[in-house]
A and B are shown apart, each in its own frame.
Chain A
Amino acid sequence: MSRAIYWISLSAGFLFLVLPLLVVLPLAFNDSSFLNYPMEGFTWRWFGVVFHQPPWMAALMNSLKVASGAMVAGVLIGGLAAVGTMLAGRWGRLVLSALFISPIVIPSVVLGVAMAYAFGRMGVSGGYLPLVLAHAILGAPLVFLSVMTSLRGLDPELERAAASMGASRWHRFRTVTLPLAAPGFLTGALFAFITSFDEVVVALFLASPQSQTLPIALFSSLRDRLEPPIVVVALLLSLVSCLFIVVLNRLQKRSNGRR
């Protein structure tokens, strides 16, 4: 009886979780302009459309540029924030952490409105800069968290050993702690990149017609008309996510193995 409840509820939840994408994504190869089953044959045609017709490729390039810029800026901001916070006292650490993590809980529409207005006032508008800066702020908390986690997980004995050999606090930090925290920076960079690459709401407020990103292109064509290229783009974005998980997994295994 309880086994039955377990298996039924587990299957229901599991199917709800995985079926939508499993059923919809194969339609990228369907030789029909209707997004429906049964499939009418296998084709790469829609991939050709995505690779050769606007707006997809231009949007992909924009996304890659914005995400790379946001990653660099996010790692710089979030990484320095984490290292600085780690060196602060107990209360300073608490206040600074709250500040540096807080963008996570602000609804993206609110951030979008606020940034669109303020950036416009500061004269930061058009091109990639507003998007890069906004996405850097969205990515920085994730970098901050992952660097903090790796700094905290370090063996305190290492620090003590360095101290016993006469290294100053700052010198210890630079030569012992920081290099060991490198995986935290890498994971954070990955988080920052994928956050920007997938972000749509803030981008909708800040992108100029020339800097439309891939998620924006997907969002507007979803509102416009449902066509197979949409599913192709969804499939490509899912593959990027899979790749991301694989890399993340490798990184975590490596840093665990080193400890």
Chain B
Amino acid sequence: MSGTRHNLAAKATLLILPLVMYAALYLLPLISIGSLSVDNGELSDRFSRLSAHFGTDAPVDDAAAVALLADLQGMDSRDRAEAGRMFNQEKQGFRSLLIDTGKAAGDIPPTLDGLTAFDPRWGEPSWWEVLERNVEPVTWRHVQKATGIKPDGQGGFGIAPGDDIYLRILVRTFVIAGQVTLLTLLLGYPLAYAVANGTPRVRAVVLMAVLLSFWTSILVRTTAWVVLLQTNGLLNGLLIRLGIIAEPLQLIFNRFGTVVAMTHVLLPFAILPMMNVMRTIPAAQTDASRSLGAGPVETFLRVYFPQTLRGAAVGGGTVFILALGFYVTPALTGGPGDQMLSYYIADFVKKGLNWGMASVLSLMLLASVILMLLIGLLVRRLAGWRRQGV
């Protein structure tokens, strides 16, 4: 009895440190991007009076003007510029309007007419609508900007033309990941086959190359491609010397460079699972098929290939999921039209410290990855591969 209690206590103590560290350094940050994506604290705290006013569904009236002027007077000029910058993302010109109004806030008569006399824009409902939407503690503007789905003014929702930019980037991310997955499977299959079925020397050489590639950092391998694909780089030099082309081709900073470099970087992730599955296929099966009169091609297609599909699915799935989140390789070998979702997430943080947009796009990427994982599990279950322990 005391032994059991001792066990439990030991178990619990062992797990305290890892669980606390995971919670603080991993789970909490992930949860925080969930709340950040709809968090509007930066604006609702600054416009606390206006937020309270609109919180009671009050109309745009003199009381709103009083609240706005009081809020603006409560801020220093840096606060106003910062708030104005955020409103500017919604409506061009808001930054200067807020800064100007804020500077003169003490002299403007605290009525709607007084505001309109100072700047006629305060007489237009469209400017107040932006304020009303964006001073609440919770905002959907990042989600709306990321998905393009906005209220269409008639009670429904729709996507205005040109607003679907991030949806298109999401599609582009999936397309690039798909292209890379297909190429890694095509190039990797013979390599995996060689490791499983080649002569001892072929096996050793190919396996060594795959493992070396696997453990060489992504950045180093991307570096090699950047050097190779430059306009006056190695590949262009070789092609010109061979007389195949006269002028250097644009091989980098476009889709070609991105897909080729990503394929190279991700190739080992496709090979290793295929190799592991191929190793379990007994050579006797092929021999049996041949002795029963099937040719090498028929044997391969009907006996060998179907059994390797499960390795290809695991390898392809791994490559696809990794490719979805790629950042370094496309950033160094792609052009503006080849950047994937990760690039825009990093961009929002680096350039504008726009945590809201970065969080929403992160959630989009995370949801895509989890969706693909679930599809993978489903396929595994439907195909009955679980029983075979893969």
What residues make up the interface of A, taking CB atoms closer than 8 Å to B? 1-2, 6, 9-10, 12-14, 16-18, 20-21, 23-25, 27, 34-37, 73, 76-78, 80-81, 83-85, 87-88, 96, 99-100, 103, 105-119, 121-122, 133-134, 136-137, 140, 168-170, 194, 198, 200-201, 204-205, 215, 218-219, 222-223, 226, 230-231, 234, 237-238, 241-242, 244-245
Write out the residue numbers on chain A whose beta carbons fall within 8 Å of the beta carbon of B216: 21, 237-238, 241
Q: Are A241 and B217 in contact (CB under 8 A)?
A: yes
Write out the residue numbers on chain B whose beta carbons fall within 8 Å of the beta carbon of A105: 321, 369, 373
Q: Are A245 and B349 in contact (CB under 8 A)?
A: no
Write out the residue numbers on chain A whose beta carbons fall within 8 Å of the beta carbon of B228: 20, 23-24
Nearest chain B CB to A206 CB, angstrom units: 11
Q: Given A113-B362, A169-B3, is A2 in contact with B328 using a C-beta cutoff of 8 Å? A: no
Complex A-B: 23 CB contacts under 8 Å: A1-B297, A2-B300, A9-B189, A12-B187, A13-B190, A16-B264, A23-B234, A87-B7, A109-B327, A110-B33, A110-B325, A113-B345, A113-B349, A113-B358, A117-B355, A118-B32, A136-B21, A137-B26, A168-B6, A219-B328, A226-B226, A226-B227, A231-B227
Q: Which of B15, B234, B365 contacts A109 (CB 8 A)?
A: B365
What residues make up the interface of B, taking CB atoms closer than 8 Å to A? 3, 6-7, 10-11, 14-15, 17-19, 21-22, 24-26, 28-30, 32-33, 36, 187-191, 193-194, 198, 202, 206, 209-213, 215-228, 230, 232-234, 237, 264, 267, 296-297, 300, 321, 324-325, 327-328, 331-332, 342, 345-346, 349, 355, 358-359, 362, 365-366, 369, 373
Distance of A15 Cα from B267 Cα, bound (Å) = 12
Q: Which of A12, A21, A109 contacts B342 (CB 8 A)?
A: A109
Main DSSP-derived SS at the A contact region: helix
Q: Are B7 and A114 in contact (CB under 8 A)?
A: no
Q: Given A204-B346, A222-B226, is A108 in contact with B325 using a C-beta cutoff of 8 Å? A: yes
Q: Given A18-B209, A21-B221, is A137 in contact with B21 using a C-beta cutoff of 8 Å? A: yes
Distance of A84 Cα from B8 Cα, bound (Å) = 10
Distance of A238 Cα from B211 Cα, bound (Å) = 12
Q: Are A117 and B227 in contact (CB under 8 A)?
A: no
Q: Given A110-B365, A136-B21, is A17 in contact with B267 using a C-beta cutoff of 8 Å? A: yes
